[in-house]
């Protein structure tokens, strides 16, 4: 889950995680110990906590009951630092290397950088008994897998990887949420296209051909049969046929016990041929490879001119799609949208085995004991059952209640979310919002049920003859100059290949050969260290 495309759909929740710098508000409070509590169990000393986050917080946005609750409960005052999404990695790198790291910050984990930071003493080392002191955080941390791996390498805890799933894992094995599409089911009915839970890439291309030919929406030249940007095309056409075609799984250990480079596999060529077919037939927009961010999906959910879009598998994505169609098109999506899994043309399901973490919390090596403990107290409460309900649903009796079956029911106005009522929520979030989206009653039950159904279908197909790209800790945690140099924007590389004149297979072979000077050193290193 390291590409920008994969990360962005999770951004709003993941980057809500607490990122704070704590300073005592006065010399008196600083000298009094920092975390003593009074007879009522409340913190005596007030700490000022500055927050570095990618969501811009405008004046007055946080003047609401939700934020006041956290300030009062933990006796803190918030101070904010806005970090732009595009500069987030570089900003954190500069802070860490210059010794200006806030007391705690959210960081998108990079293994080589992490190991260097630990060696140079640039990150805080947790006390040995931290897991006993903060058991809720420790339980969530354990599920990431990364925490234990790094303890083996460093001999201590220097980082809190954020778990994607905690108490609500939707399926086993856990596969990535990408590889789910939405199509216009009213148009499918009009052109006689069958609705199924899974389609091969050629079946989806056929659907696009049908709606282009028959134009059931009467859109003429405005119609975009397959509204994919370059990364969507990689996900739903190429990766569906070649599980090692993405950056996350490009270097992998084959059945022969040796390492290979996935983009050079024949299966990747299969995906490229299908992608080029869709482009040449005018099913992909002529400028699809230039689209950024939501330009592809906006044709579907905002303009209503697309037959297929890349959606992703989270229930929250489906609800957002519905909200967008209601707002921009004045229609309910329930009668118009069908979601499904994408298969390779051989009928096999491919995806990435999802490691259970994304990004992390890191602390300044200069943080005081009092500051560290206060922040960890916030995190531990937020990771408890009570805290998770508050973080994800708001206040019982105001934002939600239990029904007659003792099931939580949202009290928010239909079509609104907790983020609408309490913007820029960040307090204490450690577990990512993916976990709660499985059970969140603020999300329509039909969307949650469908999301879980597709996750479980992915897991079933993955176990029954599917091809899941395993998360190889040896590869993922291996860092070298050669590996860094052999990093490519594969979605752009593939788009360039299908746009070239001449024979695609010949062009692909030339491209593979042109990359060998960078790829082969990585393969040699991996084979030397980890091959059987």
Which pLDDT band holds residue 54 (cuts at 50, 70, 90)?
low
Instruction: Say which residue the tokens 């051989």 belong to.
Output: 346
Q: What is the pLDDT of residue 42?
A: 86
Which pLDDT band holds residue 416 (cuts at 50, 70, 90)?
confident
Distance CA 218, CA 224 (A): 12
Query: 118-122, long-range: CB within 8 Å, 24+ apart, which pairs?
Result: 118/154, 118/158, 121/365, 122/96, 122/97, 122/365
Three-class DSSP labels, 370-415: HHHHHHHHHHHHHHCHHHHHHHHHCCECCCEEECCCCCEEECCCCC
Q: Where are the domains of the chain?
A: 4-162+359-431, 180-353+477-530
Q: What angle do CA 200, 201, 206 make, to 5 degrees?
A: 95
Q: What is the pLDDT of residue 48?
A: 85
Query: Does 180-353+477-530 match 4-162+359-431 at the fold level?
Result: yes
Query: What are 104's strand-pairing partners?
Result: 363
Distance CA 92, CA 89 (A): 5
Give per-residue pLDDT as tens, 246-282: 999 999 999 999 999 999 999 999 999 999 999 999 9
Distance CA 307, CA 390 (A): 38
Whether the pLDDT of residue 82 is over 80: the answer is: no
Q: Residue 448 corresponds to which tokens in the numbers above? A: 């949650």
Q: Residue 346 corresponds to which tokens in the numbers above? A: 């051989």
Specify the 3-state DSSP secondary structure of 133: helix
Count of residues in the chain: 532
Which pLDDT band holds residue 4 (cuts at 50, 70, 90)?
very low
User: Mean pLDDT throughout 219-241?
Assistant: 97
DSSP symbols for 316-349: HHHHHHHHHHHHHHSS-GGGTEEEEEEE-TTS--
Percent of the chain with pLDDT over 70: 93
C-alpha separations of 136 from 42, 77, 209, 436 in Å: 20, 24, 52, 16
List % helix, strand, coil for the chain (3-state, nearest 5).
Answer: 45, 15, 40
Instruction: Say which residue the tokens 């148009």 belong to.
Output: 187
Instruction: Say which residue the tokens 């899974």 belong to.
Output: 198
| CB neighbourhood size of 153 (10 A) | 12
Which pLDDT band holds residue 149 (cuts at 50, 70, 90)?
very high
Whether the pLDDT of residue 19 is over 70: the answer is: no
Give per-residue pLDDT as tens, 448-465: 999 999 999 999 999 888
pTM of the model as a whole: 0.84
Decide: residue 196, CB within 10 A, 0-12 exposed, 13-18 middle, 19+ buried: exposed
Give per-residue pLDDT as tens, 166-190: 989 999 888 999 999 999 999 999 9
Average pLDDT of the chain is 89
What is the CATH number assigned to the segment(s) 180-353+477-530? 3.40.190.10
Phi first, then psi, for residue 247 (nearest 5°) are -60, -35
Q: Residue 283 corresponds to which tokens in the numbers above? A: 């099913």
| CB neighbourhood size of 75 (10 A) | 19
User: Mean pLDDT throughout 220-229?
Assistant: 97
Q: What is the pLDDT of residue 10?
A: 35
Which pLDDT band holds residue 33 (cuts at 50, 70, 90)?
low
Check if the beta carbon of residue 358 is closer than 8 Å to that of residue 7.
yes
Give the lowest-confidence range in 24-38, 145-159, 422-436, 494-508.
24-38
Whether the pLDDT of residue 12 is over 60: the answer is: no
Q: What is the pLDDT of residue 419?
A: 85
CATH H-level, domain 4-162+359-431: superfamily: Periplasmic binding protein-like II (3.40.190.10)
């Amino acid at each position: 889950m390291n590409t920008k495309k994969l990360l962005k759909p999770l951004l709003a929740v993941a980057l809500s995680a607490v990122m704070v710098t704590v300073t005592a508000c006065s010399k008196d409070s600083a000298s009094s110990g920092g975390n003593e509590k009074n007879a009522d169990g409340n913190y005596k000393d007030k700490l000022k906590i500055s927050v570095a986050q990618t969501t811009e917080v405008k004046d007055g946005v946080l003047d609401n009951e939700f934020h006041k609750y956290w300030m009062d409960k933990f006796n803190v005052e918030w101070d904010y630092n806005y970090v732009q999404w595009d500069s987030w990695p570089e900003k954190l790198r500069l802070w860490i290397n210059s010794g200006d790291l806030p007391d705690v910050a959210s960081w998108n984990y990079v293994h080589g950088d992490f190991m260097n930071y630990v060696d140079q003493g640039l990150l805080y080392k947790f006390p040995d008994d931290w897991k006993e002191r903060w058991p809720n955080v420790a339980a969530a941390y354990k599920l990431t897998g990364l925490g234990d791996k790094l303890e083996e390498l460093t001999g201590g805890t220097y980082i809190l990887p954020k778990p994607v799933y905690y108490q609500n894992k939707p399926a086993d094995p856990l596969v990535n949420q990408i590889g789910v599409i939405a199509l216009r089911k009213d148009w499918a009915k009009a052109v006689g296209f069958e609705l199924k839970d899974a389609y091969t890439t050629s079946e989806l291309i056929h659907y696009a051909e049908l709606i282009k030919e028959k134009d059931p929406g009467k859109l003429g030249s405005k119609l975009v049969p397959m509204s994919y940007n370059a990364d969507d095309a990689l996900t739903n056409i190429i990766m569906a046929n070649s599980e090692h075609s993405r950056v996350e799984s490009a270097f992998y250990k084959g059945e022969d016990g040796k390492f290979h480079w996935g983009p050079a596999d024949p299966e990747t060529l299969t995906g490229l041929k299908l992608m080029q077919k869709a482009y040449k037939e005018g099913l992909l927009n002529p400028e699809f490879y230039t689209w950024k961010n939501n330009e592809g999906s906006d044709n579907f959910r905002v303009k209503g001119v697309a037959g297929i879009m890349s959606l992703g598998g989270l229930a929250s994505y489906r609800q957002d799609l519905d909200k967008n169609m209601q707002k921009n098109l004045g229609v309910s999506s329930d009668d118009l949208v069908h979601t499904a899994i994408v298969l390779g043309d051989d009928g096999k399901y491919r995806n990435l085995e999802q490691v259970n973490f994304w990004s992390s919390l890191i602390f300044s090596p200069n943080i005081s004991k009092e500051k560290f403990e206060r922040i960890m107290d916030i995190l531990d409460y937020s990771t408890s059952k009570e805290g998770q309900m508050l973080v994800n649903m708001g206040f019982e009796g105001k934002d939600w209640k239990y029904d007659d079956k003792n099931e939580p029911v949202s009290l928010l106005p239909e079509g609104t979310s907790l983020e609408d009522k309490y913007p820029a929520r960040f307090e204490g979030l450690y577990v990512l919002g993916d976990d709660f989206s499985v059970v969140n009653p603020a999300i329509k039950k039909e969307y949650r049920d469908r999301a879980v159904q597709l996750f479980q279908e992915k897991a079933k197909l993955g176990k029954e003859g599917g091809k899941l790209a395993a998360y190889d800790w040896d590869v993922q945690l291996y860092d070298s100059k050669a590996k860094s140099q052999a990093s490519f924007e594969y979605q752009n590389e593939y788009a360039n290949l299908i746009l070239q004149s001449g024979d695609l297979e010949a062009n692909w072979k030339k491209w593979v050969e042109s990359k060998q000077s960078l790829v082969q050193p990585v393969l040699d290193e991996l084979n030397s260290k980890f091959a059987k």
